[in-house]
Structures are given as structure tokens and as C-alpha cells.
Amino acid sequence: MHGGDISEAFTLGDGVRTFFVKTQPAARLAMFEAEAVGLADLAAANAVRVPQVVCHGVAEGMAYLVLEHLPLRPHGDAAQLGRQLAQQHRVSADRFGGARDNWIGATAQPNGPMDDWVDFWRERRLGFQLKFAARIGYGGALQRDGEALMARLEGFFVAYRPAPSLLHGDLWGGNHGFLADGMPLIFDPASYLGDRECDLAMSELFGGFAPAFHAAYRETWPLDPGYPVRRTLYNLYHILNHANLFGGGYAAQAHRMMAQLLAELR
């Protein structure tokens, strides 16, 4: 099957049963183990539908993840998705992060639990990506402004104190779809407990979500007035990750976002 950026994907069937299978080299089994945990956590929220995990393991030098096969359509009940995502975000915990690390695309994503959200975002998200960027040659102004931004992150949270919410973690348009009856589905998570605005920010980064989704979410659980500014802060993480993975113009885009955020703090 086409569409995946990281794994090879297949449908596997015997004429009676059909499964969806993802494969990677055996050394990447931990990536599938983390994905299976994320799907289980999302399923336990009893909110947005996710594919059921059948099994995962290694065979003949290849890691595999087997999921139920669910034929998807690009359109369906977007308003239901908004309401259900708000319900999922109501699942909370005492700390930010998660019980295990996972991956955002092909990049490791550390989730070591922390009590303070600003510290978590500084150390586990922006700081991690900036160190990655430095290792592969992105220095200069990107690092200078990145450090300046991280030193002042508290300025975006003066009157806003997010609670830990169960996040999908990688909620771009390609990671959702709809079943034949219109029921929404999300998949390929990078789950952790964080500010619910992170999922919403990414849903706006590359488009792909119907206006009814955004309207229904906000009706179910209104957003803080400071969200439009923090949307840029949260999406900076993903643009830095794209710069680290794909290069191109993403590093310049990340630097522009840093400049925009620093301007908000003047």
C-alpha cells in the first residue's frame, strides 16, 4: 500500500480475513512496540476510534506490526471527530509525558515525565530538536534564536496553565480518515500527555481537517484566547523535526517562526 513515509505497508488476507501490516528492519521493533502502546492508550480513552492492534514482533529479519484492516474514506463526520477528540483530551494524569519514549516520524521523541509543562516543552521538545539540528549542521541564527526563545518560554503561559491531556501527538491530516458509515478514525500516533493545544495546532499546520472539525471541538471545549500564538510555538517543534528529517526550506521556516514568537514577547 502507498502513503507511508517510514514503513512499508501491506494488506494481508486469505479471502476471509484481512489485516493491515507495517514492516521495518528488525532493529526498529521498538518503534512498533511504542505505536502499539499508543494505540492501546487511545483505544482505552473510548473516544476517537483507532485500529485494533493484532500483534507485533520480528520475523526473517523484519519487524512487523499487524492491525485490523479498515477501509478508509477521505470524508465523513468531521464534527463527530472534533467532539470525540475533545473527549479524548479530557483523559488526564498527574504529570506531562509518558511511561515510555516513542517516535515522531523517524525521530525519537523523549517522554520522560515532568511536573512542569514549560520545562517539558523546553527540554523534551524544542531543546531536543535543536540539539539534533546542531548535530547535523544547523547552527548560527537558528540556534541563537532557539536558545533565546527557550529562555523565555514562560512568557507564553502567564495566564494559561494547561493540564496533561492524552494527545495523539502527530495529528496531521494524513493520520485521520473515516469509515464507510462516516465514523472518524485516527492512527499512527506519537502519544503522550501534554497540552491539548498541541494536537489542535498540528491539525492546522498542513490542513486536511474540515471546518466542522474545528468548530465542533471549540463548541465542546472552548480554547484559551492565547491559543493562536501558542499554535506557532507548538508547530515549531514539527517544523524543526521536518528540517532535521528532510532539510529543504524547513530550517528557514523554523527560523521565521522563532522570530515571530520572539516578537510576541517584546
Distance CA 228, CA 219 (A): 17
CATH assignment of the domain containing 49: 3.30.200.20
Residues 86 and 49 in one domain: no
Mean pLDDT in consecutive groups of 10 residues from the start of the chain, 266 residues: 81 94 96 97 98 97 96 95 98 97 96 98 98 96 98 97 98 96 97 98 96 98 98 98 95 98 95
Give CA 252 to chain center in angstroms. Answer: 22
Residues 158 and 64 in one domain: no
CATH assignment of the domain containing 186: 3.90.1200.10
Residues 83 and 19 in one domain: no
Residues 125 and 207 in one domain: yes
Distance CA 64, CA 67 (A): 10
pLDDT of 37: 97
**Can you give the residue range of the structural domain that contains 57?**
8-68
Residues 18 and 140 in one domain: no
pLDDT of 118: 98
Residues with active-site annotation: 170
CB 255 within 8 A of CB 119: no
pLDDT of 9: 93
Query: Can you point out the beta strands (E) in 53-104?
Result: 53-59, 62-68, 102-104
Return the C-alpha cell found at 79.
464534527
pLDDT of 195: 98
Cα-based distances in Å from 46 to 41, 53, 89, 101, 107: 9, 15, 11, 23, 28
